[in-house]
């Protein structure tokens, strides 16, 4: 990855999630994400299955783990398919 990719969740104010790396597996794509607004390296993995990719939805929505961590009602962040393939 050459350019930095950052996703924003649907909370107000939104959390920003930086895509650190992506790894293809036989069943999908594993994404390593970190909090773009925090300097501490707290990496989390989010898995996008091949089934999700083949459904044709763009973007794919995943739960925002930063919202869950602080006890806020779970929100989602969109992942454009072009950014993960």
Does the pTM surpass 0.85? The reply is no
In the chain, how many domains are there? 1
According to DSSP, the residues that pair with 77 across neighbouring strands are 62
pLDDT at 42: 79
pLDDT at 83: 87
d(CA 79, CA 42): 19
Write down the H helix ranges in 1-85.
50-54, 65-69, 81-84
Whole-angstrom CA distances from 42 to 30, 36, 38 are 16, 10, 9
What's the distance, CA 71 to chain centroid?
18
Block means of pLDDT (10 residues each) for the chain, 85 residues, are: 82 90 94 87 89 91 88 88 85
pLDDT at 69: 84
Could you write out the three-class secondary structure of 1-24?
CCCCEEEECCCCCCCEEEEEEEEE
d(CA 67, CA 57): 23
Range of the domain at 29: 5-84
């Amino acid at each position: 990855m050459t350019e930095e990719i950052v996703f924003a969740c649907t909370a107000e104010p939104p959390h920003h999630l930086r895509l650190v790396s992506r790894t293809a597996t036989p069943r999908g794509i594993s994404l390593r994400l970190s909090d773009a607004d925090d300097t501490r390296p707290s990496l989390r993995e989010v898995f996008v299955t091949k089934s999700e990719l083949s459904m044709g939805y763009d973007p794919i929505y995943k739960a925002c783990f930063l919202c869950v961590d602080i006890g806020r009602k779970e929100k989602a962040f969109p992942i454009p398919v072009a950014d993960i393939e």
